[in-house]
Chain A
Amino acid sequence: MVYDLIIIGAGPAGITASVYAARKRINFLVISKDIGGQTAWSGDIENFTGYQFITGANLVSKFEEHMKKYKVPLKEEGVLELKKKGALISIKTNKDVYETKTAIVASGKHSKELGVPGEKEFKNKGVTYCATCDGPIFAGKDVAVIGGGNAGLDATLQLMKIAKHVHLINITPELTGDKIMQDKVEGAENVTILNDTRVTEVIGDKMVTGIKIKEKAKEKTLTLQGIFVEIGLMPNSDFAKELDKNEKGEIKINSSNETNVTGIFAAGDVTDIPAKQIIIAAGEGSKALLNAFSFLSRKK
């Protein structure tokens, strides 16, 4: 079967596109390993219009209800390859191969890794990428947060309430996150801020026991049990080899969400649009669908 449209990803962009697609009654499919994307991992959300306060998990439940209402067809598979095949587009997943006339790439971003020895080996054995999820397990323990941006400060604010001590390790000369968060972190008795410092190795036996750091030329080992990596995000765009990307790996799009390949559109955090917000991703998903729909109408 050839679909009219396949949407890759089910975060705010992909889900919004899917709701619009269902209302247009086109023959479409959503392929995504998970529902909610980064929104599911967000703590408190206070800037999504209509909700003065909602948690990420609850907003994702609302998204899911919306998808269910429109009976959006979903395949829980991982996309391995997206390529143009004649006039059609071919999408290979870990389970199957699909063909479609148009595609919307809305695959979002994932946490960037440190890329140091020991990190992979001790993933989930002390190394974690989600303070909101795993933070409480480190109650009363010594931990490190890596990253001085908003994500790092947010993790530090959560952890300083439960951990014994938090080492905030920041590669730049000063913290870069919002001033209001910096002030709270700087005022905390159980937080040590280490600026101009990089991580060189994660050490442990069965679980993490420490971390090696380098402050300019000075090397040091900290004894601790938990490492929270919050050093930014990487676009999930590796499978889209034929699409033009910027230096960050984000897919280049124009104001109509078109990529360099005819029939392939992109939306949300995986693209090179300047601001990454839930509400913007949702809006971009809607825009991408409307443009894909007019593309399909023109082809008929």
Chain B
Amino acid sequence: MAKNVKVYSTPTCPYCIKAKQFLKDNNIEFENIDVATNPEKAQEMVDKSGQMGVPVLEIDGKIITGFDKDAIKESLGI
């Protein structure tokens, strides 16, 4: 079954762009959450990840901080 994937990002951060591109390249559907325009979601990201850097990925509830390709692959099982 497809996993529930969220990406907390800002439009200008290079690793957010890379993370999203990586998901697209692997045909993974995801919900992009732009924390630049949504302060509540920004706070949610900080609460979930315990830090203030983007991107943060949530894959079936698991939090991955930064564009950590190996961790993303492992969580997605690809």
List residues of A whose CB falls within 8 A of some B CB. Answer: 36, 40-41, 43, 55-57, 60, 124-126, 128, 130, 132-140, 206-207, 226
CA distance A132 to B12 in the complex (A): 6
Contacting A134 at CB < 8 Å: which of B37, B54, B65? B54
- With contacts A126-B52, A137-B54, A140-B39 taken as known, whether A132 is within 8 angstroms of B46 at the C-beta atoms is no
Which 5 residue pairs of A and B lie closest in terms of their CB atoms, listed nearest first?
A136-B36, A133-B13, A40-B14, A124-B53, A124-B51
CA distance A135 to B39 in the complex (A): 12
Chain B contact-residue range equals: 20 to 34
Nearest CB of B to A69, in Å:
17
- CB pair A134–B14 under 8 Å, yes or no, is no
Nearest CB of A to B46, in Å:
7
Residues of A within 8 A of B51 (CB): 124-125
Shortest Cβ distance from B13 into A: residue: A133
Which residue of A125, A126, A133 has the most chain B CB atoms within 10 A of its CB atom?
A: A133
- CB pair A57–B17 under 8 Å, yes or no, is yes
Which residue of A41, A43, A135, A137 has the most chain B CB atoms within 10 A of its CB atom?
A: A137
- Between-chain CB contacts (< 8 Å), 10 pairs: A55-B12, A56-B14, A57-B14, A133-B12, A133-B14, A133-B53, A137-B10, A137-B45, A137-B46, A207-B52
Nearest CB of B to A10, in Å:
13
- CB pair B14–A36 under 8 Å, yes or no, is yes
